[in-house]
């Protein structure tokens, strides 16, 4: 969730706002997010990830060809203050309390790797020698100045302590449930190991850490999981694999094999698949606005293991686009909520997301089950998700093709003699002996389960 692009609840803190310019602040703030939490909670979402809220640089940069401001929160100038353009620490605590009252946890995005362009820290003698800039930047992951941003020398204990005290102190005061860790691979492992020790000691053993390791998947995230430096990581592999398959690229058997490989994540750790994010072109944009295919991709995400991440607005058809259009305003339709008031939204798509989330939450086999292929011929994919601990089993059938596809499979033992239902369409399903024989319509899906 890019707070600046969701809802403006306090026009009094608007600074340099221009909703018609892509790189400016648009006025969204913590109060606006709090006022419209029910929009998120109603979907069935269990955790809210918000972009950084620390004080960002006051001005803008022009390297993108237009004035580009720190509306996203990743260009910090003071780690011990909140940016007044987002709100106060009290506003953040109010948001956290309101989310908790709705059964949602809050993950705060934090940055340890770098500060903002031309940060005042560069001229402050207290921080002399703490940052790499210009010719002092290296070429490896740890000393690289990502996108030219001043790079913290996290090999220095005083730097580590300064940054951890800032982020952990804020987390403790406002009660957030975890961190989303930015630019993880650009900070050394011993930092993350100490960070994990301190979060557990100061914030509780269940304080959740999910990291952004660029390009991360089950294999490349393992060095951080092996050291138990974080609980989960974003699965960068899912978007490309799912979008390619629904568009007819690649063999179904190969895609099913990919889904199976996602289980190879280290025990006790999780992958978080996504279809869109603030750093990549959105899925609906890549699918050229085809919502039929987008629904199939979303259903594949919601029936896959791990922690699915929904990027704000994609559930109502926000077009997204390439950067910076992938950071556009939350569409609110006829509701008078700035900055996205009047921008069209697809309520039918939102209703489908709500249904998918409800189905997922009703079946533990999706989050933690074992994946087994049942059919991978042509354009039809049928797979079983089975969780022994809960005795739960669900069968998913997805047809990416333009013709109806027959699908048949043996009834899972977990179903016993209970009535079978397509929980996606709501239709009852007849048994033929010990098998299910059905047809999957073109470019559609079915999800079979028992009560």
Return the CATH number at 235.
3.20.20.80
Q: Which residues contact 122 (CB under 8 A, 6 or more apart)?
A: 131, 133, 150
In the structure, what pLDDT confidence band is assigned to residue 41 with cuts at 50, 70 and 90? very high
pLDDT digits (tens, 9 = 90+) for 318-336: 988 999 999 999 999 999 9
Q: What is the pLDDT of residue 451?
A: 74
208-211 and 232-235: which strand pairing?
A: parallel
Domain span including residue 273: 3-367
Give per-residue burial for 26-64: e unless 16+ CB within 10 Å, then b: bbbbbbbbbbbbebbbebbbebbbbbbbbbbbeebbeee
- What is the chain's Cα-based Rg? 23
Stated as kind and residue range, the H or E segment containing 197 is helix 189-203
Q: Is there a contact between 300 and 246 (Cβ–Cβ < 8 Å)?
A: yes
29 alpha-carbon distance from chain centroid = 19
Say whether both 38 and 164 belong to one domain.
Answer: yes
Average pLDDT, the chain: 97
In the structure, what pLDDT confidence band is assigned to residue 182 with cuts at 50, 70 and 90? very high
pLDDT digits (tens, 9 = 90+) for 228-243: 999 999 999 999 999 9
Q: What is the mean pLDDT of residues 180-209?
A: 98
Q: What is the pLDDT of residue 4?
A: 98
Say whether both 41 and 80 belong to one domain.
Answer: yes
Q: What is the pLDDT of residue 324?
A: 96
- Could you give the CA distance from residue 310 to residue 287 in angstroms, rounded to a whole number? 17
Say whether both 345 and 377 belong to one domain.
Answer: no
Q: For a pLDDT cut of 70, what percent of the chain falls above it?
A: 100
Q: What is the pLDDT of residue 211?
A: 98
Return the CATH number at 422.
2.60.40.1180
Say whether both 137 and 243 belong to one domain.
Answer: yes
Q: What is the pLDDT of residue 105?
A: 98
Q: How far is CA 71 from CA 21, 39, 44, in A?
A: 12, 22, 27
Owner of token pair 């048994």: 431
- Could you give the CA distance from residue 20 to residue 25 in angstroms, rounded to a whole number? 10
Give the residue with greater pLDDT, 440 vs 63: 440
Q: What is the pLDDT of residue 132?
A: 98
Say whether both 294 and 402 belong to one domain.
Answer: no
The helix/strand/coil state of 370 is strand
Say whether both 215 and 318 belong to one domain.
Answer: yes
Say whether both 87 and 176 belong to one domain.
Answer: yes
Q: What is the mean pLDDT of residues 173-199?
A: 98
DSSP code of 280? Answer: B
The helix/strand/coil state of 150 is coil
Say whether both 430 and 299 belong to one domain.
Answer: no
Say whether both 288 and 409 belong to one domain.
Answer: no
Q: What is the pLDDT of residue 279?
A: 94
Q: Is there a contact between 152 and 114 (Cβ–Cβ < 8 Å)?
A: yes
Q: Backbone phi, then psi, for 286, in 5-degree steps?
A: -65, -30
Q: How many domains is the chain built from?
A: 2
Say whether both 363 and 375 belong to one domain.
Answer: no
Q: Which of residues 367, 393, 412 is at a domain's end?
A: 367
Q: Which of residues 367, 396, 430 is at a domain's end?
A: 367
Q: Is there a contact between 102 and 36 (Cβ–Cβ < 8 Å)?
A: no
Q: How far is CA 449 from CA 360, 398, 427, in A?
A: 11, 15, 11
Task: For residue 444, list its beta bridge partners.
Answer: 399
Say whether both 327 and 428 belong to one domain.
Answer: no
Q: Which of residues 349, 367, 385 is at a domain's end?
A: 367
DSSP code of 146? Answer: G
Q: Which residues contact 216 (CB under 8 A, 6 or more apart)?
A: 233, 234, 235, 236
- Could you give the CA distance from residue 407 to residue 398 in angstroms, rounded to a whole number? 10
Q: Which residues contact 88 (CB under 8 A, 6 or more apart)?
A: 30, 82
Q: What is the mean pLDDT of residues 419-425?
A: 96
Which candidate, 287, 288, 307, places its Cα nearest to that of 240?
Answer: 287
Token pair, residue 167, equals 């982020």
Say whether both 175 and 210 belong to one domain.
Answer: yes
Owner of token pair 């003698």: 125
- Helix H, strand E, coil C: the string for 72-120 is CCCCEEEEEEECCCCCCHHHHHHHHHHHHHCCCEEEEEECCCECCCCCH
pLDDT digits (tens, 9 = 90+) for 356-391: 999 999 999 999 999 999 999 999 999 999 999 999
pLDDT digits (tens, 9 = 90+) for 100-118: 999 999 999 999 999 999 9
Q: Is there a contact between 303 and 396 (Cβ–Cβ < 8 Å)?
A: yes
Residue 451 CB-half CA count within 13 A: 5
Owner of token pair 């994609």: 314
- Could you give the CA distance from residue 106 to residue 99 in angstroms, rounded to a whole number? 7
Look at residue 31 and tell me whether its pLDDT is greater than 80. Answer: yes
Token pair, residue 204, equals 């509780």
Task: For residue 422, list its beta bridge partners.
Answer: 427, 448
């Amino acid at each position: 969730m890019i707070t600046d692009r969701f809802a403006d609840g306090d026009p009094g803190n608007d600074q340099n706002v221009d909703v018609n310019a892509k790189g400016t602040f648009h006025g969204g703030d913590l109060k606006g997010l709090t006022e419209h939490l029910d929009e998120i909670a109603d979907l069935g979402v269990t955790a809210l990830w918000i972009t950084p809220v620390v004080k960002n640089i006051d001005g803008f940069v022009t390297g993108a060809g237009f004035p580009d401001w720190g509306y996203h929160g990743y260009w910090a100038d003071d780690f011990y203050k909140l940016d007044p353009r987002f709100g106060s620490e009290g506003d953040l605590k109010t948001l956290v309390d309101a989310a908790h009252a709705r059964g949602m946890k809050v993950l705060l995005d934090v940055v340890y790797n770098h500060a903002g362009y031309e940060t005042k820290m560069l001229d402050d003698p207290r921080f002399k020698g703490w940052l790499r800039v210009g010719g002092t930047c290296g070429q490896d992951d740890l000393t690289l100045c990502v996108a030219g941003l001043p790079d913290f020398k996290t090999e220095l204990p005083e730097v580590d302590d300064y940054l951890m005290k800032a982020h952990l102190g804020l987390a403790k005061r406002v009660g957030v449930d975890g961190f989303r860790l930015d630019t993880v691979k650009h900070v050394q492992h011993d930092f993350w190991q100490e960070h994990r020790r301190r979060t557990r000691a100061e914030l509780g053993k269940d304080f959740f850490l999910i990291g952004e390791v660029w390009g991360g998947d089950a294999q490349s995230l393992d060095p951080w999981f092996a050291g138990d430096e974080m609980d989960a990581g974003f699965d960068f592999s899912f978007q490309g694999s799912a979008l390619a398959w629904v568009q007819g690229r690649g063999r179904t058997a190969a895609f099913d094999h990919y889904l199976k490989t996602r289980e190879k994540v280290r025990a006790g750790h999780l992958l978080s698949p996504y279809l869109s994010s603030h750093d990549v072109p959105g899925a609906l944009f890549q699918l050229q606005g085809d919502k039929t295919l987008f629904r199939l991709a979303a259903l594949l995400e919601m029936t896959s293991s791990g922690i699915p991440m929904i990027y704000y607005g994609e559930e109502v058809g926000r077009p997204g686009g390439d950067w910076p259009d992938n950071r556009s305003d939350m569409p609110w339709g006829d509701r008078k909520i700035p900055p996205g008031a009047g921008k069209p939204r697809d309520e039918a798509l939102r209703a489908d997301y709500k249904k998918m989330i409800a189905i997922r939450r009703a079946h533990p086999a999706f989050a933690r089950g074992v994946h087994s292929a049942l059919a991978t011929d042509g354009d039809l994919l049928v797979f079983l998700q089975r969780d022994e601990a809960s005795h739960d089993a669900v069968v998913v059938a997805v047809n990416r093709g333009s013709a109806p596809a027959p699908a048949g499979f043996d009834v899972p033992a977990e179903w016993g003699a209970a009535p079978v239902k397509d929980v996606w369409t709501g239709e009852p399903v007849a048994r033929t002996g010990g098998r299910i024989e059905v047809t999957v319509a073109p470019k559609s899906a079915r999800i079979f389960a028992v009560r």
